[in-house]
Structure 1
Amino acid sequence: MIQDRGDDHDDRDAQHRLCGPCGRGRRRGCGGRPASARLPCPPRVRRVSDAAAARQAALDLLPDGAEVFTASSVTADAIGLIQEIDSSGRYTATRPKLMAMDPATQMSEMRRLGAAPQWVVGSVHALTHDGDLIIASASGSQLASMAYGAQNVLLIIGAQKIVPDLGTAMRRVHEYSLPLEDARARSAYGMGSTVHKVLTLHGDIEDGRVRVVLVDEPLGF
């Protein structure tokens, strides 16, 4: 099993790649070129020291009244972000609406509602030194919004998730994250978990669409 690395892990390579050169302030391709050029824009990154600072940094980015879908995330839950978004009344929260719907009769509507929110908030399972973001899922319910549908993507990432490369990232997903998620799912839902779908974000064609709060302490798995 891959062992997580704590605060002493050197994340400078990954942070540099995430913060690489990109045109700012325009919903255009990276470097200010037209989006049709398909040049990848790296996420905008804010690095913070701890969980409390991560929560505040995330809330600072979310406008009051925004439509926000909280993807299942131990990291976002651990810092109190999911509860604040879904229960405070400050936002138009998508998850409570989804939880009130019947999958047997409303699945198509549920898929549409979760696929294209104004904001999606969650985390990743690994971040490589090249800046690739890896998100694994059983159902894939959060992947459509992160890959394309959401206008804005906000990811909270503990520094222990930084790994050298994609191969190590996939081993982390299957050998470290999945057993912990399986145990959590069995406790919470009475059924285990698996990995059916994996999304890798190398970048985006829209500058500023993807934002990362990188936390200098272990959070989530």
Structure 2
Amino acid sequence: MTTPMPATSFADPAPAQRLERAASALTAHGFTVEILDDAAAARTRIKDLIPEGAGVFTVASETLRLSGIEEDINAGGRYQAIKPRVLAMDRVTGADDIRRLLAGPDVIVGSVAALTETGSLVVASGSGSQLPGYAGGAARAIWIVGAQKVVPDLDTALRRVEDHCLPLESARTREAYGWPSAVNRLLILNAEHQPGRGTVLLLREAIGF
């Protein structure tokens, strides 16, 4: 029987053995996994993984923001960055185009709320904008995952979403937009059937929520 994790530990990096277990399980489920030292290593690795000129959608993610990956992709000029394009479009007259751009990019880059040692990725979302791309709409998906997001099982992952991620994300959205966040949609990725489509860059350090 799995021992429940106290909420306070959800911010602590998992030790190497747990990272290895999660990576092995993900690999067995069809994901490509690389364990990297830190966010700086992921920032460098991203440049090798995404071909120049690709249409790339970066989801809202503290991991991407803090690592500098979001800025590299959206302001670096190397890719066809989708987020700046969408932000410049009219939300009413361009609604259909926005929906299509977000749902089927060449590459989607983001993070997850939790990664289980049994090899599942758990994504929580308020708007759901990243979910079509994550689930299969994007030709390739890359997730950068801090070591603090590794949990034993799915029950613990869902508790991490509610007890740890949601309060932090609500604080962020209150400051940015004036309202709290909500777990309106959940996506659980248990396996990847298309070889090479889903890549997880698992970090030895904690970053993001």
TM-score, normalization: structure 2? Answer: 0.93
Amino acid across the alignment from 2:42: A
Q: Is the 8 A contact 2:118 2:153 kept in 1?
A: yes
Does residue 97 of the first structure (1) align with residue 105 of the second (2)?
no
Among 121, 127, 131, the residue aligned to 2:119:
131
Cα offsets for 1:137-177 (capped at 9, x unmatched): 00100000110110000000001100011111001001100
- Provide the residue aligned with 2:3 in structure 1: none
Q: Is the 8 A contact 1:75 1:123 kept in 2?
A: yes
Amino acid across the alignment from 1:13: R
Query: Which blocks of at least 5 consecutive residues in structure 2 are unaligned?
Result: 1-5
Amino acid across the alignment from 1:156: I
Deviates more, 1:171-180 or 1:50-59: 50-59
Cα offsets for 1:86-107 (capped at 9, x unmatched): 0011000000111011212221
- Provide the residue aligned with 2:162 in structure 1: 174
CA distance in 1, matches of 2:115, 2:50: 23
Change (3 A) 1:7 1:168: closer
- Provide the residue aligned with 1:164 in structure 2: 152
- Provide the residue aligned with 2:7 in structure 1: 2
CA distance in 2, matches of 1:52, 1:113: 28
Cα offsets for 1:22-49 (capped at 9, x unmatched): xxxxxxxxxxxxxxxxxxx421011110
Deviates more, 1:203-212 or 1:119-128: 203-212
Q: Is the 8 A contact 2:103 2:138 kept in 1?
A: yes
CA distance in 2, matches of 1:173, 1:179: 9
- Provide the residue aligned with 1:186 in structure 2: 174
Amino acid across the alignment from 1:2: A
User: 1:7: Cα distance to partner?
Assistant: 5.0
- Provide the residue aligned with 1:206 in structure 2: 194
CA distance in 2, matches of 1:191, 1:104: 22
Q: Is the 8 A contact 2:57 2:108 kept in 1?
A: yes
- Provide the residue aligned with 1:85 in structure 2: 73
- Provide the residue aligned with 1:19 in structure 2: 27
| Percent sequence identity over aligned pairs | 44
CA distance in 1, matches of 2:156, 2:133: 25
- Provide the residue aligned with 1:220 in structure 2: 208
Give the secondary-structure state (helix, strand or coil) at the position aligned to 2:70: helix
User: 1:58: Cα distance to partner?
Assistant: 1.6
TM-score, normalization: structure 1? Answer: 0.88
Deviates more, 1:174-183 or 1:8-17: 8-17
Q: Is the 8 A contact 2:13 2:149 kept in 1?
A: no
Amino acid across the alignment from 2:13: G
User: 1:6: Cα distance to partner?
Assistant: 2.1
Query: Which blocks of at least 5 consecutive residues in structure 1 are unaligned?
Result: 21-40
Amino acid across the alignment from 2:59: A
- Provide the residue aligned with 2:37 in structure 1: 49
Cα offsets for 1:97-121 (capped at 9, x unmatched): 1101121222121111100000000
User: 1:12: Cα distance to partner?
Assistant: 2.3
CA distance in 1, matches of 2:96, 2:180: 24
